[in-house]
Structure 1
Amino acid sequence: MELEELKAGWSILNEQLAKSEMLNKRIIKEMITNRTQSAYERLFRFDLFGLILVLGICVMFPVLAATGKIVLKPLSFALLEGSIVIGFFMQLFFISLLLRFDMEKKKIYELTKLVLAYKLWMKRNTVIGSWIGMAALIAFLFIEKTQLVGNWEVRLAGVFILASVIMFFQTRFYLKNICAIEKGLAELKEFEEEPDQNRSV
């Protein structure tokens, strides 16, 4: 009788331990999911702000030129407006990628592919977009140098320094949050693989 009671006690204890382990895993999974979602939302807010900012500049620039608030040569205007439009479409593309990131509906491997695509295009944009912007700015300064007051070479150096600092912190922000998302997805993938490993054992 005592042996049966001992077995029953062990059985109850094992069930309680199993439930406790499942609860702990669920809590850890929710924490990882929330951390990953937070990193994604930071990226989305940042890109959305960038999209609104570029759109505002894209619209205001022609208005200021048309009203005579800024006077530019047609070529320099086309260069600046063209680079702004390119920046707008790049931001729109990044937003379209992030809008497809849905942790409730998509599987881990689908989310991982999206993050890799976003990371790849972010790196391309950092290189290509930056060179396009810098080339347009340099061309603008050369075209409008007769209208500029003071030493325009010094201004150009100042713009380069400012742009480099902005790019450094922007890239650091992107990589930090992308790494957080990648780490979270890798940890969530381990949770998905655990049942298969247990069945194989």
Structure 2
Amino acid sequence: QFTADYYGIVMGTSHEEPMMRSIPVEWGLFGNGPWDYNVNAAAIHDFWVAGAKRAAKFENMWTVGMRGNGDEPIVGSGPVDLLEKIYADQKQILADTLNGTIESIPQVWAMYKEVEGYYDQGLQVPDYITILWTDDNWGNVRRYPLPSERNRTGGAGVYYHIDYVGDPRDYKWIASSQISKIYEQMSIAIDRQATQI
């Protein structure tokens, strides 16, 4: 974070690493118990507080929400209610740690894999949070902002795989991510106003 700040780079973390904490690296080193908010909320909360305090003096885009261990879906029943509880706790951490109103703190929530389904089922994402729409891991953006979603103060962005490591197979070769396909998908993102990130 110090080096990024020196060069004027805004820091952020991936869709599976909320509150400026690396999962599984930092959780493996500094966490205590399972990465499961249903049964270990206090330890995860403290882990996030430490991350927020460490990153507070830098310019950040704060990833919010949560995915399960190993970039898997969160476990347990009622994932929409659980994610809303998780964000309420994260929001309080940000408000307690950073100076400024919660609406002025840059935040992003990735609608990756099952999280997009939770959003479609009614997951409430506050207007000031940037919604990060994602591809299907194969270069096809699954969803862009609808006309009714284009006036959000947080805006929208796109999380796009140039290469991918995961099921059902990895791809890392330049021929698997054609420039023309990337151009097409990013052009649609611009047309649909998904340009915040």
Q: Same fold (TM over 0.5)?
A: no
The one of the two structures with greater contact order (alpha-carbon pairs below 8 A, sep at least 6) is 1
Where is the strand percentage greater, Structure 1 or Structure 2?
A: 2
Structure number, greater radius of gyration: 1
